[in-house]
């Protein structure tokens, strides 16, 4: 009985481990799904959400370690593995179009291709995420488009094939996958199901899902056994940026404007100073409205990182439409209405998060977000009833000679207030452990 125990002990003493991070030099962030392998062996692994990797049970001695990522130059390093302990080996990857000027201790001078490289790395990250998925998945990364604008994730999701966005009419309200209704599409934020703001609906609404500090959106078109029953159409998972994925602190901000117009591009210049009336004189109802958002991410230590995000904007929704009721026997209109809608929508969002790296295998995350969405609706209309005895055809209606028609004017006003507080606490297994395959 002592012989097997001695063999196991001797085997453990003749092995070691390698761990480290893989950095995207152009973006200044650590890469997710970068491949790490020991050349000449079957040992390999992939970096996790924070760009971390770990290879264990490696034979003692010198090995050649290679790090690679699509569209980037692969890097190799000769690493000496000590007996029974772990050695640190980090990699800094450049795009294949750049020269090998980057080296430890040198200053990297960014050139005019930096913005393009950030978009390329975001696209490559999305491709790798789809390749590693267990089912059919589409991934849209935030840096592929640069700016989210007013904060509605529907403005992001509409670029994904196979996803239908329901509008009302200028604001994204809900999403459906593969033709299923919104109630059959599961919406999540960092893996936690997002509830609907309406009491009688099961599907989540996009208008109430104001999100800041987005990393990517993962859309699964095929449900898996671990998904709940309302994911029959698929799922939409909005992933926030990991605070631990940054090497240094970062402040990003956007100052923008929103414009909603019912006119063609020829009259676009007139809309910048146009004003629509509302039921509150104190509300600024210009069609062009300013907005801003910012995110500050602070890596405090290698194991603790914080972030703070906020955003505010107003969007004026205005439209005119005509309604009619027809007598299908005489083929004339019996009633019609001229309608106008003006709805200023105000959005405020404040979010904070903290990520703590417990050990090489687990991460603890806390995220809090408060959103305030307010809409003031002003709906004037003029219903016309032509009365009995009206004549005409498919192009016009003539009222009766006895003047029994009625024209009235009515105004409907209502306000919507949506205030949500979202808290997510999670312990996530992050670091993959390499082994022979």
For the chain, the average pLDDT equals: 76
Q: Cα(77)–Cα(66) distance, rounded to whole angstroms?
A: 6
Which stretch of 26-30, 36-40, 93-97 has the lowest confidence by average pLDDT? Answer: 93-97
* pLDDT digit string, tens, across residues 317-348: 777 788 888 988 888 888 889 888 878 888 88
Model pTM? 0.69
Q: What's the token pair of residue 398? A: 């003539």
CATH fourth-level superfamily of 133-240? TonB-dependent receptor, plug domain (2.170.130.10)
185-194, 271-280, 282-291: which is most confident: 185-194
* Percent helix, percent strand, percent coil in the chain, to nearest 5: 10, 50, 40
Q: How far is CA 325 from the centre of its chain?
A: 42
CA pair distance 390, 332, nearest whole angstrom: 8
The most confident of the ranges 129-133, 161-165, 261-265 is: 161-165
More confident residue, 297 or 267: 297
Please state the rounded mean pLDDT for residues 88-106: 66
Cα separation of 377 and 403, whole Å?
34
Which range is most confident: 195-199, 265-269, 395-399, 430-434? 395-399
Task: Output the pLDDT for position 91.
Answer: 92
Segments making up each domain of the chain, as ranges: 2-98, 133-240, 244-429
- Considering the domain delimited by 2-98, tell me its CATH architecture: Sandwich (2.60)
For 195, residues 6+ apart whose C-beta sits below 8 A from its C-beta are: 204
Residues 6+ apart with CB under 8 A from 19: 52, 53, 54, 55, 86, 87, 88, 89, 360, 431
Tell whether the model's pLDDT for residue 312 goes beyond 60: yes
Q: Is 123 helix (H, G, I), strand (E, B) or coil?
A: helix
Region 251-255: what's the mean pLDDT? 86
Degrees to nearest 5, angle at CA 211 with 210 and 212: 130
Show the DSSP H helices in 357-419 as ranges: none
Hey, is 113 helix, strand or coil? coil
Distance CA 18, CA 247 (A): 20
Give the up-direction half-sphere exposure of residue 377: CA atoms within 13 A in the CB hemisphere: 12
Helix (H) or strand (E) holding 125: helix 114-131
Looking from the CA of 314 toward its CB, the CA atoms found within 13 Å total 17
Q: Are 249 and 299 in contact (CB under 8 A)?
A: yes
SS3 122: helix
Inter-residue contact 76 to 65 (CB < 8 Å): yes
């Amino acid at each position: 009985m002592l012989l097997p125990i001695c063999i196991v002990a001797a085997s453990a003493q003749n092995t070691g481990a390698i761990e480290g991070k893989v950095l995207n030099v152009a973006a200044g962030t650590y890469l997710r799904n970068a491949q790490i392998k020991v050349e000449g062996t079957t040992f390999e692994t992939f970096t996790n959400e924070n760009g971390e990797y770990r290879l264990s049970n490696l034979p003692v001695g010198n090995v050649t370690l290679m790090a690679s990522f699509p569209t980037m130059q692969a890097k190799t390093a000769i690493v000496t593995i000590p007996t029974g302990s772990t050695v640190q080996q980090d990699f800094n990857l450049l795009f294949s179009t750049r020269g090998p000027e980057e080296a430890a201790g040198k200053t990297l001078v960014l050139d005019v291709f930096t913005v393009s490289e950030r978009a390329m790395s975001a696209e490559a990250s999305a491709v790798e995420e789809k390749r590693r998925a267990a089912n059919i998945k589409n991934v849209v990364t935030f840096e592929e488009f640069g700016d989210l604008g007013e904060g509605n994730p529907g403005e992001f999701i509409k670029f994904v094939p196979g996803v239908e966005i329901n509008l009302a009419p200028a604001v994204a309200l809900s999403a459906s996958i593969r033709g299923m209704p919104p109630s059959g599409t599961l919406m999540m934020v960092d893996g936690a199901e997002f509830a609907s703001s309406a009491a009688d609906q099961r599907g989540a609404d996009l208008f109430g899902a104001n999100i800041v500090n987005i990393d990517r959106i993962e859309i699964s078109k095929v449900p898996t056994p671990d998904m709940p029953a309302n994911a029959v159409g698929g799922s939409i998972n909005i992933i926030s940026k990991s605070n631990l994925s940054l090497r240094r602190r970062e402040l990003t901000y956007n100052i923008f404007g929103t414009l909603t117009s019912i006119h063609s591009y020829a009259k676009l210049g007139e809309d910048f100073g146009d004003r629509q009336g509302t039921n509150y004189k104190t509300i600024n109802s210009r069609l062009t409205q300013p907005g801003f958002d910012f995110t500050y991410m602070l890596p405090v230590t290698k194991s603790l990182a914080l972030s703070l995000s906020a955003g505010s904007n107003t969007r004026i929704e205005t439209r005119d439409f005509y309604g009619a009721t027809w007598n299908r026997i005489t083929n004339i209109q019996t009633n019609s209405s001229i309608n106008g809608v003006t709805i200023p929508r105000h959005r405020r969002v404040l979010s904070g998060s903290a990520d703590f790296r417990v050990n090489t295998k687990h991460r603890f995350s806390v995220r809090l977000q408060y959103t305030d969405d307010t809409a003031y609706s002003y709906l004037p209309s003029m219903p016309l009833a032509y009365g009995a005895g009206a004549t005409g055809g498919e192009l016009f209606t003539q009222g009766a000679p006895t003047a029994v028609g009625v024209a009235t004017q009515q105004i409907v006003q209502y306000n919507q207030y949506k205030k949500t507080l979202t808290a997510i606490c999670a312990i996530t297994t992050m670091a993959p452990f390499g082994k022979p395959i």
